[in-house]
Chain A
Amino acid sequence: MNRDTFLQQVRHAVLRGNAFQVATRDLPPSTGYVGVAGDYMDRMAREVAEVGGIPHRCEHLTAAREVLAELLRKHKPKSALSWEHPLLDELGLADVLNQAGITLLSYSSLASLPVQERRARILAADIGITSADYAIAETGTLAVCARPGQERVASLLPPVYISVIRRDQVSPDLFDLFERLDAAGLDRLPSNVTLITGPSKTGDIELYLTTGVHGPGTWHVILID
Chain B
Amino acid sequence: MTTAYAKHEHHEFLAAANEALHNANLQLALSQLGDTLGQRNKAAFAALECSAELRERARAIKNATLASLDEHLATLADAVERRGGQVHFAADAEDACRIVTQIAREENVRRVVKSKSMTTEEIHLNPALEKAGIEVVETDLGEYIIQLAQQRPSHLVAPAIHMRIKEIAETLSRAAGHPLPEEPTELTAFARRALREKFATADMGITGANFAVAETGTIVVVSNEGNARLTTTLPRVHVAIVGMEKVIPKLAHLPVFLKILARAATGQKLSVYTSIISGPRRGGELDGPEKFHLVLLDNGRSRILGSPLRESLFCIRCGACLNACPVYRNIGGHAYGGVYAGPIGAVLTPLYDGLVANEHLPHASSLCGACQAACPVKIQIPQMLIQLREALHETPERHGRLERLAYRFWAASLRSGRRYRIGSWLASRTLGLAFRQQRWLKTLPGKLAGWTDERDFPAPAPRRFRDWWKKEGQA
Binding site for B on A (CB under 8 A): 1-3, 5-18, 20-22, 24-27, 29, 31-32, 34, 47, 51, 107, 110-111, 118-119, 122-123, 138-139, 141, 146-148, 151-153, 156, 174-175, 177-179, 181-182, 186, 189-208, 210, 212-215
Task: Looking at the assembled complex, report how far the CB atom of B146 sits from the nearest CB atom of chain A, in whole angstroms.
Answer: 10
In the complex, what residue of chain B is closest to A200 when comparing beta carbons? B226
Whether A195 touches B59, Cβ cut-off 8 Å, given contacts A1-B91, A123-B196, is no
In the complex, what residue of chain A is closest to B292 when comparing beta carbons? A191
User: Which residues of the other chain, B, contact A119 by a CB distance below 8 angstroms?
Assistant: 200
Asked if B269 CB lies within 8 Å of chain A CBs, one says yes
CA distance A152 to B258 in the complex (A): 21
Number of A-B contacts (CB under 8 A): 274
Asked if B168 CB lies within 8 Å of chain A CBs, one says yes
- In chain B between 17 and 72, which residues have their CB closer than 8 angstroms to a CB of chain A? 29, 32-33, 36-37, 48-51, 53-54, 56-57, 59-60, 63-64, 66-70
User: Which residues of the other chain, A, contact B87 by a CB distance below 8 angstroms?
Assistant: 3
User: Which residues of the other chain, A, contact B192 by a CB distance below 8 angstroms?
Assistant: 212-214
Asked whether, in the complex, the Cβ of B53 is within 8 Å of the Cβ of A31, the reply is yes
In the complex, what residue of chain B is closest to A110 when comparing beta carbons? B286
Asked whether, in the complex, the Cβ of B227 is within 8 Å of the Cβ of A214, the reply is yes
CA distance A11 to B71 in the complex (A): 8
In the complex, what residue of chain B is closest to A27 when comparing beta carbons? B57
Task: Looking at the assembled complex, report how far the CB atom of A53 sits from the nearest CB atom of chain B, in whole angstroms.
Answer: 10
Asked whether, in the complex, the Cβ of A212 is within 8 Å of the Cβ of B188, the reply is yes
Give the number of chain B interface residues (Cβ < 8 Å): 106
User: Which residues of the other chain, A, contact B282 by a CB distance below 8 angstroms?
Assistant: 147, 190-191
Segment among B247-255, B330-338, B358-366, B427-435 that sits at the interface with chain A: B247-255
User: Which residues of the other chain, A, contact B54 by a CB distance below 8 angstroms?
Assistant: 31-32
User: Which residues of the other chain, A, contact B73 by a CB distance below 8 angstroms?
Assistant: 7, 10
- In chain B between 285 and 311, which residues have their CB closer than 8 angstroms to a CB of chain A? 285-288, 296, 298, 302-303, 305-311
Asked whether, in the complex, the Cβ of A13 is within 8 Å of the Cβ of B305, the reply is yes
- In chain B between 139 and 185, which residues have their CB closer than 8 angstroms to a CB of chain A? 139-142, 145, 158-161, 164-165, 168, 184-185
CA distance A210 to B165 in the complex (A): 14
Segment among B273-281, B406-414, B467-475 that sits at the interface with chain A: B273-281
